[in-house]
């Protein structure tokens, strides 16, 4: 198949196919989820996408101690790099305008309104310590037994606080390919048992890099006049993900590799692929916002009413 692996057509097609495994579509027969011809098409699209991710990331060590040592270096680099002073969160905190904050919230809704859902697919594919630890992290992600604390629900509250549409999938049509790719990747990793190591790597990368960015986002929300419901999503992640980082590194990854040491290279791939796509998204956002004159980073700009909603000051 000849297609741009990071282009709008391929990314939207994958997103549509994957959504059949999440909530589906009104008026669409649920049997499409397992239609053989659709799965064949999806498989061809996935091959193009995964090949590009592997080409775009440094090839991990093939196995043994070298692969495990390389993974430790990669995870250590995640702890050293993020400080909240650069990237999208730093820009929004220090110089961002309200309309840029709203665009960022709309972008990330495609990801955060299904936050932790694809990672749950790893649970039946893990065993022992890794399974127990992953379930503990997911328990927090899904509210720790309280429906009002589900992280996806907290993000919906953030959207509502900012005057945006909190509905699931509301901004998929406006999301460009760089945003969709971050979600299609975790869906792809989650749906394939063969990619369980990459899914664990993605989850670890997301949790490790969240607290510094979340602190910067709290600063951005405070500076731009957002309310407490918007702040709560990020303050929750500052505390929770600092703990999750330790659990994922030592118990999920450690337990996984104790049982299946040959998956170290796959975990490294998942970490690196996550960084690749997050960097592509950040470059897209900052290029649009720093242009002269600045332009929307969305495929379809937010309506004027959203830009002057609650907290606009």
Cα 123 to Cα 138: distance, rounded to the nearest angstrom: 10
User: What's the CATH code of the domain at 133?
Assistant: 1.20.910.10
In a domain, residue 231? The reply is yes
Task: Give the model's confidence band at 305: pLDDT under 50 very low, under 70 low, under 90 confident, else very high.
Answer: low
In a domain, residue 168? The reply is yes
**Residue 90 pLDDT more than 90?**
yes
Cα 62 to Cα 65: distance, rounded to the nearest angstrom: 10
Cα 152 to Cα 163: distance, rounded to the nearest angstrom: 17
**Residue 312 pLDDT more than 50?**
no
- Overall domain count for the chain: 1
Residue pLDDT, tens place only, 95-147:
999 999 999 999 999 999 998 999 999 999 999 999 999 999 999 999 999 99
Classify each residue of 122-154 as buried b or exposed e, where b means 16 or more C-beta atoms within 10 Å of its C-beta. beebbeebbbebbeebbebbbeeeeeeebbbbb
Provide the domain limits for residue 266: 64-307
pTM of the entire structure? 0.94
In a domain, residue 312? The reply is no
Token pair of 85 as six digits: 């002073």
């Amino acid at each position: 198949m000849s297609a741009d692996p990071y282009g709008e057509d391929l990314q939207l097609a994958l997103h549509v196919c994957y959504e059949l495994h999440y909530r589906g579509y009104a008026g669409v027969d649920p049997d499409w989820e397992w239609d053989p011809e659709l799965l064949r098409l999806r498989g061809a699209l996935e091959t193009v996408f995964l090949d590009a991710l592997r080409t775009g990331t440094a090839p991990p060590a093939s196995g043994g101690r070298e692969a495990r040592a390389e993974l430790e270096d990669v995870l250590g680099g995640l702890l050293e790099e993020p400080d909240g002073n650069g990237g999208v969160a730093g820009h929004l905190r220090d110089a961002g305008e309200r309309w840029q904050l709203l665009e960022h919230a709309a972008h990330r809704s495609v990801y955060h309104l299904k936050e932790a859902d694809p990672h749950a697919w790893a649970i039946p594919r893990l065993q022992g310590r890794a399974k127990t630890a992953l379930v503990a992290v997911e328990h927090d992600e899904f509210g720790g037994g309280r429906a009002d604390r589900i992280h996806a629900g907290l993000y919906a509250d953030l959207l509502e606080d900012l005057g945006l549409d909190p509905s699931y999938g509301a901004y998929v049509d406006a999301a460009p390919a760089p945003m969709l790719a971050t979600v299609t990747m975790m869906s792809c990793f989650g749906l394939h048992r063969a990619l369980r190591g990459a899914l664990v790597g993605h989850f670890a990368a997301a949790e490790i890099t969240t607290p510094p960015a979340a602190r910067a986002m709290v600063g951005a929300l405070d500076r731009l006049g957002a309310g407490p419901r918007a702040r709560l999503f990020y303050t929750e992640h500052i505390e929770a993900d600092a703990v999750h980082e330790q659990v994922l590194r030592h118990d999920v990854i450690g337990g996984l590799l104790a049982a299946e040491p040959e998956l170290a290279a796959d975990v490294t791939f998942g970490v690196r692929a996550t960084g690749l796509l997050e960097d592509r998204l950040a470059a897209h956002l900052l290029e649009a916002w720093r242009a002269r004159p600045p332009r929307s980073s969305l495929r379809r700009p937010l309506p004027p009413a959203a830009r002057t909603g609650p907290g606009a000051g």
